[in-house]
Amino acid sequence: MSKFTRRGKVVIALTIVMSLFLVAGVGASVYLRSVGFWGSSDPGTEVEFEIPNGSDAAEIGKILEAEGIIKSAFGFRLAAYFDGGAEDIQAGKYTLATGLTARDALERLKGTEPEGELHVNVTFPEGLWLTEMAETMGEDTHISAKKFLKLATSGRIRSEFLPEGIDTLEGLLFPSTYQVIEKDSARDVIERLLGEFEKQVESLDFSQAESLGLSNYEIVIVASMIEAETRVDAERAKVAQVIYNRIRAGWMLGIDATVLYALGDRHAELTQSALDVDSPYNTRRYTDIPPTPIGAPGRASLEAALNPADGAWMYYVLADCEGNHAFSTTDAEFLEDKAHYQTLDCG
Protein backbone atom coordinates (compact mmCIF):
# COMPACT_ATOMS: atom_id res chain seq x y z
CA MET A 1 0.00 0.00 0.00
CA SER A 2 1.41 3.38 -0.95
CA LYS A 3 2.06 5.96 1.69
CA PHE A 4 0.97 9.60 1.57
CA THR A 5 3.73 12.07 0.98
CA ARG A 6 4.23 14.88 3.46
CA ARG A 7 2.76 17.30 0.93
CA GLY A 8 -0.26 15.06 0.42
CA LYS A 9 -0.92 14.95 4.13
CA VAL A 10 -0.86 18.75 4.32
CA VAL A 11 -3.30 19.03 1.41
CA ILE A 12 -5.68 16.55 3.03
CA ALA A 13 -5.47 18.35 6.38
CA LEU A 14 -6.20 21.70 4.76
CA THR A 15 -9.08 20.18 2.85
CA ILE A 16 -10.58 18.81 6.07
CA VAL A 17 -10.15 22.14 7.87
CA MET A 18 -11.72 24.06 4.98
CA SER A 19 -14.58 21.57 4.88
CA LEU A 20 -15.20 22.08 8.60
CA PHE A 21 -15.20 25.85 8.16
CA LEU A 22 -17.56 25.48 5.20
CA VAL A 23 -19.93 23.27 7.19
CA ALA A 24 -19.75 25.68 10.14
CA GLY A 25 -20.33 28.60 7.84
CA VAL A 26 -23.32 26.96 6.20
CA GLY A 27 -24.68 26.08 9.65
CA ALA A 28 -24.17 29.61 10.90
CA SER A 29 -25.82 31.00 7.79
CA VAL A 30 -28.83 28.74 8.24
CA TYR A 31 -29.08 29.70 11.91
CA LEU A 32 -28.77 33.45 11.25
CA ARG A 33 -31.47 33.14 8.61
CA SER A 34 -33.67 31.20 11.01
CA VAL A 35 -33.52 34.01 13.58
CA GLY A 36 -34.17 36.61 10.91
CA PHE A 37 -30.78 38.27 11.10
CA TRP A 38 -30.46 38.25 7.34
CA GLY A 39 -32.33 37.10 4.31
CA SER A 40 -35.10 38.87 2.45
CA SER A 41 -37.97 40.68 4.08
CA ASP A 42 -41.48 39.66 3.04
CA PRO A 43 -43.61 42.59 4.26
CA GLY A 44 -47.14 41.70 5.33
CA THR A 45 -49.78 43.38 7.45
CA GLU A 46 -48.87 46.68 9.06
CA VAL A 47 -48.85 46.64 12.86
CA GLU A 48 -49.02 49.53 15.33
CA PHE A 49 -46.90 49.17 18.45
CA GLU A 50 -45.27 51.29 21.11
CA ILE A 51 -41.70 51.42 22.40
CA PRO A 52 -41.70 52.52 26.07
CA ASN A 53 -39.34 55.15 27.36
CA GLY A 54 -35.91 53.74 28.25
CA SER A 55 -36.21 50.52 26.17
CA ASP A 56 -32.93 48.92 25.10
CA ALA A 57 -32.25 46.70 22.06
CA ALA A 58 -33.30 43.53 23.90
CA GLU A 59 -36.63 45.03 24.98
CA ILE A 60 -37.35 46.48 21.53
CA GLY A 61 -36.57 43.07 20.01
CA LYS A 62 -39.07 41.37 22.30
CA ILE A 63 -41.77 43.86 21.29
CA LEU A 64 -41.07 43.34 17.58
CA GLU A 65 -41.09 39.55 17.95
CA ALA A 66 -44.36 39.60 19.93
CA GLU A 67 -45.99 41.68 17.17
CA GLY A 68 -44.78 39.29 14.44
CA ILE A 69 -42.67 41.98 12.80
CA ILE A 70 -39.46 39.93 13.11
CA LYS A 71 -38.78 36.24 13.74
CA SER A 72 -36.63 36.58 16.83
CA ALA A 73 -35.69 39.12 19.46
CA PHE A 74 -32.22 37.55 19.47
CA GLY A 75 -31.88 38.31 15.76
CA PHE A 76 -32.65 41.95 16.52
CA ARG A 77 -30.01 42.02 19.24
CA LEU A 78 -27.48 40.65 16.75
CA ALA A 79 -28.48 43.32 14.23
CA ALA A 80 -28.13 46.02 16.89
CA TYR A 81 -24.70 44.67 17.84
CA PHE A 82 -23.30 44.48 14.31
CA ASP A 83 -25.09 47.43 12.68
CA GLY A 84 -25.46 49.75 15.69
CA GLY A 85 -27.91 52.60 16.13
CA ALA A 86 -30.48 50.94 18.39
CA GLU A 87 -29.67 53.47 21.11
CA ASP A 88 -30.95 56.23 18.81
CA ILE A 89 -34.43 54.73 18.49
CA GLN A 90 -36.89 57.05 20.24
CA ALA A 91 -39.69 55.98 22.53
CA GLY A 92 -43.15 56.33 21.05
CA LYS A 93 -45.66 54.76 18.68
CA TYR A 94 -44.65 53.21 15.35
CA THR A 95 -46.16 51.28 12.47
CA LEU A 96 -44.15 48.52 10.74
CA ALA A 97 -45.08 45.62 8.49
CA THR A 98 -44.81 42.04 9.68
CA GLY A 99 -42.31 39.71 8.02
CA LEU A 100 -39.20 41.91 8.19
CA THR A 101 -35.66 40.77 8.82
CA ALA A 102 -34.13 42.07 12.01
CA ARG A 103 -31.72 44.27 10.07
CA ASP A 104 -34.51 45.78 7.97
CA ALA A 105 -36.62 46.44 11.07
CA LEU A 106 -33.66 48.11 12.75
CA GLU A 107 -32.96 50.34 9.75
CA ARG A 108 -36.59 51.42 9.49
CA LEU A 109 -36.81 52.27 13.18
CA LYS A 110 -33.54 54.20 13.05
CA GLY A 111 -34.85 56.28 10.18
CA THR A 112 -38.37 56.91 11.51
CA GLU A 113 -39.76 59.48 13.91
CA PRO A 114 -42.33 58.09 16.37
CA GLU A 115 -45.99 58.81 15.63
CA GLY A 116 -47.84 61.23 17.85
CA GLU A 117 -46.48 62.71 21.05
CA LEU A 118 -44.18 60.94 23.48
CA HIS A 119 -45.62 60.24 26.90
CA VAL A 120 -44.75 58.61 30.19
CA ASN A 121 -47.12 56.82 32.56
CA VAL A 122 -47.10 58.26 36.06
CA THR A 123 -48.72 56.35 38.94
CA PHE A 124 -49.96 57.97 42.14
CA PRO A 125 -50.95 55.30 44.71
CA GLU A 126 -53.86 55.82 47.12
CA GLY A 127 -52.92 57.66 50.28
CA LEU A 128 -50.05 59.62 48.74
CA TRP A 129 -49.36 63.05 50.23
CA LEU A 130 -49.34 66.05 47.91
CA THR A 131 -45.61 66.49 48.60
CA GLU A 132 -45.06 62.88 47.51
CA MET A 133 -47.10 63.43 44.36
CA ALA A 134 -44.86 66.37 43.55
CA GLU A 135 -41.75 64.24 44.12
CA THR A 136 -43.14 61.59 41.76
CA MET A 137 -43.75 64.22 39.10
CA GLY A 138 -40.21 65.53 39.47
CA GLU A 139 -38.71 62.04 39.25
CA ASP A 140 -40.82 60.64 36.38
CA THR A 141 -41.55 63.64 34.16
CA HIS A 142 -40.13 66.92 32.87
CA ILE A 143 -42.27 68.87 35.39
CA SER A 144 -40.34 69.96 38.47
CA ALA A 145 -41.57 68.90 41.90
CA LYS A 146 -41.23 72.47 43.17
CA LYS A 147 -43.37 73.94 40.41
CA PHE A 148 -46.05 71.23 40.79
CA LEU A 149 -46.29 71.64 44.58
CA LYS A 150 -46.26 75.44 44.48
CA LEU A 151 -49.16 75.56 42.03
CA ALA A 152 -51.14 72.81 43.82
CA THR A 153 -50.99 74.78 47.09
CA SER A 154 -51.34 78.30 45.69
CA GLY A 155 -55.13 78.47 45.50
CA ARG A 156 -54.95 79.46 41.84
CA ILE A 157 -56.66 76.19 40.85
CA ARG A 158 -59.95 75.71 42.67
CA SER A 159 -62.37 72.85 43.21
CA GLU A 160 -66.04 72.94 44.14
CA PHE A 161 -65.01 70.89 47.20
CA LEU A 162 -62.46 73.46 48.35
CA PRO A 163 -63.80 75.72 51.15
CA GLU A 164 -63.08 79.42 51.39
CA GLY A 165 -59.72 80.00 53.03
CA ILE A 166 -58.21 76.66 52.01
CA ASP A 167 -55.75 76.79 49.12
CA THR A 168 -54.13 73.34 49.05
CA LEU A 169 -55.51 70.65 46.76
CA GLU A 170 -54.37 67.93 49.17
CA GLY A 171 -56.82 65.03 48.90
CA LEU A 172 -58.53 66.40 45.79
CA LEU A 173 -56.13 65.02 43.17
CA PHE A 174 -57.34 61.52 42.41
CA PRO A 175 -54.78 58.72 42.82
CA SER A 176 -54.43 56.69 39.63
CA THR A 177 -52.14 56.23 36.61
CA TYR A 178 -51.93 59.09 34.12
CA GLN A 179 -50.15 59.77 30.83
CA VAL A 180 -48.00 62.89 30.81
CA ILE A 181 -46.82 64.22 27.46
CA GLU A 182 -43.90 66.55 26.80
CA LYS A 183 -46.03 69.63 26.22
CA ASP A 184 -47.95 69.22 29.51
CA SER A 185 -47.46 71.94 32.10
CA ALA A 186 -47.87 71.55 35.85
CA ARG A 187 -51.30 73.17 35.49
CA ASP A 188 -52.34 70.67 32.80
CA VAL A 189 -51.49 67.71 35.02
CA ILE A 190 -53.05 69.15 38.18
CA GLU A 191 -56.27 69.95 36.34
CA ARG A 192 -56.31 66.41 34.90
CA LEU A 193 -56.00 64.85 38.37
CA LEU A 194 -58.56 67.25 39.83
CA GLY A 195 -60.93 66.52 36.94
CA GLU A 196 -60.58 62.78 37.58
CA PHE A 197 -61.43 63.29 41.26
CA GLU A 198 -64.58 65.21 40.37
CA LYS A 199 -65.50 62.54 37.81
CA GLN A 200 -65.05 59.76 40.40
CA VAL A 201 -67.25 61.43 43.02
CA GLU A 202 -70.07 62.30 40.59
CA SER A 203 -71.77 58.97 41.26
CA LEU A 204 -71.32 59.13 45.06
CA ASP A 205 -74.23 60.29 47.21
CA PHE A 206 -72.82 63.27 49.09
CA SER A 207 -76.27 64.02 50.53
CA GLN A 208 -75.17 61.57 53.24
CA ALA A 209 -72.67 64.18 54.44
CA GLU A 210 -75.37 66.33 56.00
CA SER A 211 -76.80 63.41 57.99
CA LEU A 212 -73.29 62.70 59.26
CA GLY A 213 -72.95 66.34 60.35
CA LEU A 214 -70.10 67.07 57.94
CA SER A 215 -69.48 69.14 54.83
CA ASN A 216 -68.51 67.51 51.55
CA TYR A 217 -64.92 68.61 52.11
CA GLU A 218 -64.90 67.10 55.60
CA ILE A 219 -66.04 63.80 54.10
CA VAL A 220 -62.89 63.87 51.96
CA ILE A 221 -60.83 64.53 55.11
CA VAL A 222 -62.39 61.49 56.81
CA ALA A 223 -61.81 59.42 53.68
CA SER A 224 -58.13 60.37 53.72
CA MET A 225 -57.82 59.11 57.30
CA ILE A 226 -59.56 55.86 56.38
CA GLU A 227 -57.13 55.45 53.48
CA ALA A 228 -54.18 55.94 55.81
CA GLU A 229 -55.49 53.58 58.49
CA THR A 230 -56.39 50.45 56.50
CA ARG A 231 -55.82 48.90 53.10
CA VAL A 232 -58.36 46.12 53.78
CA ASP A 233 -61.50 46.96 51.81
CA ALA A 234 -63.80 45.07 54.18
CA GLU A 235 -62.62 47.25 57.09
CA ARG A 236 -62.98 50.71 55.60
CA ALA A 237 -66.63 51.23 56.59
CA LYS A 238 -65.86 50.03 60.14
CA VAL A 239 -62.93 52.46 60.47
CA ALA A 240 -65.29 55.19 59.26
CA GLN A 241 -67.78 54.30 61.98
CA VAL A 242 -65.07 54.38 64.69
CA ILE A 243 -64.14 57.90 63.52
CA TYR A 244 -67.78 59.05 63.61
CA ASN A 245 -68.41 57.40 67.00
CA ARG A 246 -65.43 59.24 68.44
CA ILE A 247 -66.53 62.56 66.91
CA ARG A 248 -70.01 62.14 68.41
CA ALA A 249 -68.52 61.28 71.80
CA GLY A 250 -66.23 64.34 71.70
CA TRP A 251 -63.12 62.18 71.83
CA MET A 252 -59.82 62.86 70.19
CA LEU A 253 -59.57 60.70 67.08
CA GLY A 254 -56.11 59.46 68.08
CA ILE A 255 -55.05 58.52 64.53
CA ASP A 256 -51.29 58.06 64.24
CA ALA A 257 -51.30 58.83 60.51
CA THR A 258 -52.33 62.42 61.30
CA VAL A 259 -49.32 62.76 63.60
CA LEU A 260 -46.97 61.56 60.86
CA TYR A 261 -48.57 64.07 58.49
CA ALA A 262 -48.07 66.83 61.06
CA LEU A 263 -44.40 65.84 61.36
CA GLY A 264 -44.02 65.73 57.57
CA ASP A 265 -42.28 62.36 57.86
CA ARG A 266 -44.19 59.21 56.99
CA HIS A 267 -41.52 57.02 58.61
CA ALA A 268 -40.99 58.98 61.82
CA GLU A 269 -40.79 57.11 65.11
CA LEU A 270 -43.81 57.98 67.22
CA THR A 271 -42.03 58.91 70.43
CA GLN A 272 -43.86 60.82 73.14
CA SER A 273 -42.42 64.11 71.89
CA ALA A 274 -43.64 63.27 68.38
CA LEU A 275 -47.12 62.44 69.68
CA ASP A 276 -47.18 65.81 71.48
CA VAL A 277 -46.36 67.86 68.37
CA ASP A 278 -48.42 71.07 68.41
CA SER A 279 -50.29 70.93 65.13
CA PRO A 280 -53.98 71.07 64.16
CA TYR A 281 -53.29 67.80 62.30
CA ASN A 282 -52.35 66.03 65.55
CA THR A 283 -55.52 64.13 66.46
CA ARG A 284 -53.80 62.82 69.58
CA ARG A 285 -53.75 66.38 70.92
CA TYR A 286 -56.83 68.05 69.43
CA THR A 287 -60.40 66.76 69.20
CA ASP A 288 -61.16 68.36 65.84
CA ILE A 289 -60.65 66.56 62.57
CA PRO A 290 -57.61 67.82 60.60
CA PRO A 291 -58.11 71.07 58.66
CA THR A 292 -57.40 69.36 55.31
CA PRO A 293 -57.12 65.78 54.02
CA ILE A 294 -53.90 63.97 54.96
CA GLY A 295 -53.43 62.29 51.59
CA ALA A 296 -55.25 61.22 48.44
CA PRO A 297 -58.16 58.87 49.20
CA GLY A 298 -59.23 56.30 46.64
CA ARG A 299 -62.84 55.68 45.68
CA ALA A 300 -63.30 52.84 48.21
CA SER A 301 -62.37 55.12 51.12
CA LEU A 302 -64.63 57.90 49.84
CA GLU A 303 -67.52 55.41 49.68
CA ALA A 304 -66.76 54.20 53.20
CA ALA A 305 -66.72 57.76 54.56
CA LEU A 306 -70.21 58.28 53.15
CA ASN A 307 -71.50 54.85 54.19
CA PRO A 308 -70.09 53.86 57.59
CA ALA A 309 -70.92 50.44 58.98
CA ASP A 310 -73.39 50.08 61.85
CA GLY A 311 -71.60 49.42 65.14
CA ALA A 312 -70.65 50.84 68.51
CA TRP A 313 -66.91 50.36 68.03
CA MET A 314 -64.66 52.96 69.60
CA TYR A 315 -61.30 51.30 69.03
CA TYR A 316 -59.34 49.25 66.55
CA VAL A 317 -55.86 47.80 66.62
CA LEU A 318 -53.84 45.57 64.31
CA ALA A 319 -54.80 41.93 64.82
CA ASP A 320 -52.22 40.16 62.65
CA CYS A 321 -49.20 40.73 60.44
CA GLU A 322 -51.30 40.97 57.26
CA GLY A 323 -52.82 44.35 58.18
CA ASN A 324 -56.22 43.17 59.50
CA HIS A 325 -57.66 44.96 62.54
CA ALA A 326 -59.63 43.95 65.61
CA PHE A 327 -62.51 46.31 66.49
CA SER A 328 -63.78 46.78 70.05
CA THR A 329 -66.29 48.82 72.03
CA THR A 330 -64.79 48.94 75.54
CA ASP A 331 -61.42 49.78 77.08
CA ALA A 332 -61.06 46.23 78.37
CA GLU A 333 -61.64 44.70 74.93
CA PHE A 334 -59.22 47.13 73.34
CA LEU A 335 -56.48 46.41 75.87
CA GLU A 336 -56.95 42.67 75.31
CA ASP A 337 -56.70 43.12 71.52
CA LYS A 338 -53.65 45.34 71.94
CA ALA A 339 -51.95 42.79 74.19
CA HIS A 340 -52.57 40.10 71.57
CA TYR A 341 -50.99 42.23 68.84
CA GLN A 342 -47.94 42.89 70.98
CA THR A 343 -47.31 39.14 71.18
CA LEU A 344 -47.03 38.87 67.38
CA ASP A 345 -43.67 38.74 65.67
CA CYS A 346 -44.20 40.59 62.40
CA GLY A 347 -40.51 41.20 61.69
- CA–CA gap between residue 39 and residue 100 (Å, rounded): 9
Of 126, 128, 130, 299, nearest to 202 by C-alpha is 299
CA pair distance 305, 218, nearest whole angstrom: 10
Predicted confidence at residue 28, as pLDDT, reads 54
Note the pLDDT of residue 317: 93
The rounded distance, in Å, linking the Cα atoms of 125 and 105 is 38
Q: How many angstroms from the chain centroid is the CA of residue 71? A: 32
pLDDT at 116: 66
Task: Write down the pLDDT at residue 346.
Answer: 82
Low-confidence ranges of the chain (pLDDT < 50): 1-4, 8-13, 15-17, 19-26
> Angle 236-249/299-306 helices, nearest 10 degrees?
40
Contact 255, 283 (CB under 8 A): yes
Q: How crowded is the C-beta side of 307, counted as CA atoms within 13 Å?
A: 11
235 contact partners, CB below 8 Å, separation of at least 6? 316, 324, 325
User: What is the helix, strand, coil percentage profile of the chain, to 5?
Assistant: 45, 10, 45
